[in-house]
Every structure is written in structure tokens, then in C-alpha cells.
């Protein structure tokens, strides 16, 4: 697997540097606008969770490197595991870089120490793992086509949600409002929950379970991919 990780780094280093430059501008802007560490945790998780898998896995189709990696004397399941490890490493570095950039900026509107708590970092990793778990199976199986399918499907769902909201109208019997309200309350509860030992262990278990399920599905899908 070390050969796979080494190739992933060599193939992705230029793209990662470009993403870091974009991150610098993005987090500088967010630090000047956001005064809530909770909002920072959510926006940072979304940004990193969406960008890092696309950068590492989308590069494969552009430069046709997947066939080269799979030509190594390793099993495809090991290749998938290597991609997961490489992407999680990139996510960890991206999260650390985001916090470091925000910490050194003189115009940051919130105390970075509030983001450096164990609970805040675990919540961020949990949110990233949810995004990560959906994106990776798509991109591993279909490459850039999978990314396009995922983005188009998301946009279509958004259009459908707006259309249903317009048709159903009102507020009392709006199923969509109930769903979005439930999601919002769940997120608020997650961010404001007391950092008890049970809560922390539950978060760690949830991150591990989501990642393991995504890895299992990705292995099955990648085994069927032809190059």
C-alpha cells in the first residue's frame, strides 16, 4: 500500500498546492465575515469534504493514472484502501491548514481556541465523513462522470425541492419544511451538545462506521470498473 500512497502523492501534489492557494483566499474571506465558531466548523467541513476527494480522485480521469496504479502488483481492494488513506490524510492536512490560516489572520472575528476543542474537531470530522462517504464511491466507480452525475443529481433534487415547496405552499403541511427543520435541529444539537464521554465515543464510532461502510461499497464498485 506504500507504493499506492507514494503514487497518490506524486500525482496529486500539484493539485493539492492549487487547492491550498484557493483555501487561503476562501478562509481569509470567511474569517473576516464569520463571528461564530460553529458556523466556521460547518462551512470548513463542507469545503474540505467536497474539495479534497474531487481533487485526488478527479485527477485520475484527467491524467489517466488509474490504469497505471492498478497495474501495480497489488489488489484493487488495496488500491481503494490507499486512496481512502490518502484522501483522509489530505483532509486532515486541509483542516489543520484552515485552522492555522484563520489563527494567524489579525481580522478573524472569533477565537480559534473554540474550534480547537476535541468536540469541535470530532464534529467537523463527522460532517466531513458523511460527505466523503457519498462522494468516494461515485468517483471511484465512474470517475469524472460520477462527479458530474452527483452534482447534476444534487441540482435536480434542489430544483425538485423548490418546486414542491412552491406547490405545497403554506407551512403547516409542508413536508420539506419539516425535513429541513429536522436537519437543522439535528445539526444545532450536534454542535451544542455537551462533550461527555458518551457523546465523544458515539462520534468516533459514527465516523468509523460511516467510513467503513463507504470503503466496503467502494471496494465492491471499484472491482467492477474497467480501464
Question: Which of 36-40, 92-96, 186-190, 217-221 tops mean pLDDT?
Answer: 217-221
Question: Quick one: how many helices (H) and strands (E) in the chain?
Answer: 8, 0
The more confidently predicted of residues 83 and 66 is: 83
pTM value is 0.71
Amino acid 172: pLDDT: 47
Yes or no: say if 77 and 1 are a contact pair by the CB < 8 Å rule.
no
Does 43 score more than 60 pLDDT? yes
Grid cell in block for residue 209: 462506521
Amino acid 189: pLDDT: 83
Amino acid 138: pLDDT: 77
| CA-wise closest residue to 135 among 92, 88, 75, 180 | 88
Mean of pLDDT values over 184-205? 84
Q: What does DSSP assign to residue 117?
A: S
Q: Could you give the angle at the alpha carbon of 86 between the alpha carbons of 81 and 89, nearest 5°?
A: 125
Amino acid 223: pLDDT: 78
Mean of pLDDT values over 66-95? 77
pLDDT over 70 percentage in the chain:
72
N-terminal to C-terminal alpha carbon distance within the chain: 20
Does 100 score more than 70 pLDDT? yes
| CA-wise closest residue to 94 among 52, 134, 126 | 52
Amino acid 205: pLDDT: 92
Amino acid 2: pLDDT: 59
| CA-wise closest residue to 44 among 162, 191, 152, 177 | 191
Yes or no: say if 23 and 97 are a contact pair by the CB < 8 Å rule.
yes
Confidence of residue 56 (pLDDT cuts 50, 70, 90): low
HSE (CB half, 13 Å, CA atoms) of 79?
Answer: 24
Question: Which of 27-41, 62-76, 125-139, 192-206 tops mean pLDDT?
Answer: 192-206
Mean of pLDDT values over 55-74? 66
The more confidently predicted of residues 225 and 119 is: 119
Mean pLDDT computed over every residue of the chain? 76
Confidence of residue 209 (pLDDT cuts 50, 70, 90): very high
Yes or no: say if 138 and 150 are a contact pair by the CB < 8 Å rule.
yes
Range with the lowest mean pLDDT among 15-24, 120-129, 185-194? 15-24
Yes or no: say if 83 and 57 are a contact pair by the CB < 8 Å rule.
yes
pLDDT over 90 percentage in the chain:
1
Mean of pLDDT values over 146-169? 70
Please state, in angstroms and rounded to a whole number, the distance separating the CA atoms of residues 27 and 111.
14
202-218 burial code (b ≥16 CB/10 A, e <16)? ebeeebeebbeebbebb
Contacts 24+ apart (CB under 8 A), 47-51: 47/23, 47/98, 48/91, 48/94, 48/95, 48/98, 48/128, 49/91, 49/127, 49/128, 49/129, 49/130, 49/131, 49/132, 49/135, 50/131, 50/135, 51/19, 51/22, 51/94
Yes or no: say if 30 and 43 are a contact pair by the CB < 8 Å rule.
yes
Amino acid 134: pLDDT: 81
Does 101 score more than 70 pLDDT? yes
Amino acid at each position: 500500500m506504500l507504493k499506492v500512497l507514494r503514487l497518490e502523492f506524486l500525482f496529486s501534489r500539484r493539485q493539492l498546492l492549487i487547492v491550498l492557494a484557493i483555501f487561503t483566499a476562501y478562509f481569509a474571506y470567511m474569517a473576516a465575515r464569520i463571528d461564530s465558531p460553529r458556523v466556521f466548523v460547518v462551512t470548513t467541513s463542507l469545503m474540505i469534504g467536497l474539495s479534497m476527494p474531487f481533487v485526488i480522485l478527479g485527477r485520475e480521469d484527467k491524467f489517466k493514472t488509474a490504469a497505471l496504479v492498478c497495474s501495480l502488483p497489488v489488489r484493487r481492494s488495496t488500491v481503494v484502501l490507499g486512496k481512502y488513506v490518502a484522501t483522509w490524510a489530505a483532509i486532515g492536512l486541509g483542516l489543520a491548514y484552515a485552522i492555522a490560516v484563520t489563527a494567524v489572520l489579525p481580522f478573524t472575528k472569533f477565537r480559534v481556541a473554540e474550534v480547537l476543542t476535541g468536540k469541535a474537531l470530532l464534529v467537523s470530522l463527522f460532517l466531513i465523513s458523511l460527505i466523503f462517504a457519498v462522494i468516494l464511491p461515485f468517483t471511484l466507480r465512474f470517475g469524472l462522470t460520477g462527479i458530474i452525475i452527483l452534482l447534476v443529481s444534487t441540482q435536480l433534487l434542489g430544483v425538485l425541492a423548490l418546486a414542491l415547496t412552491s406547490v405545497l405552499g403554506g407551512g403547516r403541511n409542508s413536508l420539506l419544511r419539516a425535513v429541513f427543520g429536522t436537519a437543522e435541529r439535528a445539526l444545532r444539537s450536534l454542535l451544542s451538545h455537551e462533550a461527555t464521554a458518551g457523546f465523544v465515543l458515539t462520534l468516533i464510532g459514527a465516523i468509523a462506521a460511516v467510513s467503513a461502510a463507504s470503503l466496503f461499497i467502494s471496494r465492491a464498485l471499484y472491482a467492477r470498473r474497467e480501464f
